A and B are shown apart, each in its own frame.
Chain A
Amino acid sequence: DQQVKQNSPSLSVQEGRISILNCDYTNSMFDYFLWYKKYPAEGPTFLISISSIKDKNEDGRFTVFLNKSAKHLSLHIVPSQPGDSAVYFCAADLLLKAAGNKLTFGGGTRVLVKP
């Protein structure tokens, strides 16, 4: 049972346009959400996060939106750049627990930004 789903395995966008990546989750207990970016042959790196008490968090070109009622979050990248081409993973966490930051990841979305 996948608790975090990224239904679009890939996304192609023109340089300068907006990239929108979507993520859905089923566990209503998740209270923290993160996006990680992964280049080939490298480990994932943290990109941006959002707490369940917020509905938006912005960091430069990256904005994450959270819709708790719909159990949906999205990552917007604007403007998209060729260096943004990577696999993006959505992850969810239960902060109010005793067992560390065990993240539940989605399957990833491969983004290709065309020059």
Chain B
Amino acid sequence: GAGVSQSPSNKVTEKGKDVELRCDPISGHTALYWYRQSLGQGLEFLIYFQGNSAPDKSGLPSDRFSAERTGGSVSTLTIQRTQQEDSAVYLCASSLTPISDTGELFFGEGSRLTVL
């Protein structure tokens, strides 16, 4: 596709359930990032992929969070045993590899997660 695609756009779940969020980056972009934006907050870095490997997982808030990327393309962010504080908009972005000349990231529209 022309842009970064994320699904679902909205997800409401009950506390304790697992959720999976999907990201399909721009074709040809081998760098992929997950960020999240909690209500009234800025964007918080979660994890970065270069190809299928994740050299930087430093932003994952707990071991309930994991992400994988297969085929150097689609990525899935999984949150296990969701908590109410996990409620946020999860944004995926991609960029040219290895380091974009402009530092520009291309963001998807985000997946809004609400944990009841």
A103 near B42 with CB under 8 A, answer no
Q: Known: A43-B4, A43-B110, A44-B91. Contact between A103 and B55, CB under 8 A? A: no
Q: Is the CB of A89 within 8 A of B42?
A: yes
Q: Mark B73-116, 1 if CB is under 8 A from A, else 0.
A: 00000000000000000010101011110111111111000000
Chain B residues with CB below 8 A from A102, complex form: 33, 45, 48, 56
Q: Is the C-beta of A105 less than 8 angstroms from some C-beta in chain B?
A: yes
**Cα–Cα distance between A108 and B102 once the two chains are bound (Å):** 21
Given contacts A99-B48, A105-B42, A106-B42, contact A43 B95 (CB under 8 A): no
B56 x A44 contact (CB < 8 A):
no
Closest to B108 in A: A43
> CB-CB < 8 A to B67: which residues of A?
none
Q: Name B6-59 residues within 8 Å CB distance of A.
A: 31, 33, 35, 41-45, 48, 50, 55-56
Interface residues of A (CB under 8 A from B): 4, 6, 32, 34, 36, 41-46, 49, 89, 91, 93, 95, 97-108
Interface secondary structure of A, over-half rule = loop
With both chains docked as a complex, state the minimum distance between the C-beta of A89 and any C-beta of chain B, in angstroms.
Answer: 6
* Chain A residue contacts of B109, Cβ below 8 A: 41-43
Question: Could you say which residues of chain B place their CB within 8 Å of the CB of A44?
Answer: 43, 91, 107
Contact of B107 with A89 in the complex, beta carbons under 8 Å? no
Chain B residues, CB < 8 A from A99: 48, 50, 55-56
Interchain CA distance A43-B110 in the complex, whole Å: 6
Nearest CB in chain B: distance from A35 CB, A = 11
Q: Bound complex: CA of A20 vs CA of B68, how far in Å?
A: 40
Task: Say yes or no: B104 contacts A100, CB within 8 Å.
Answer: no
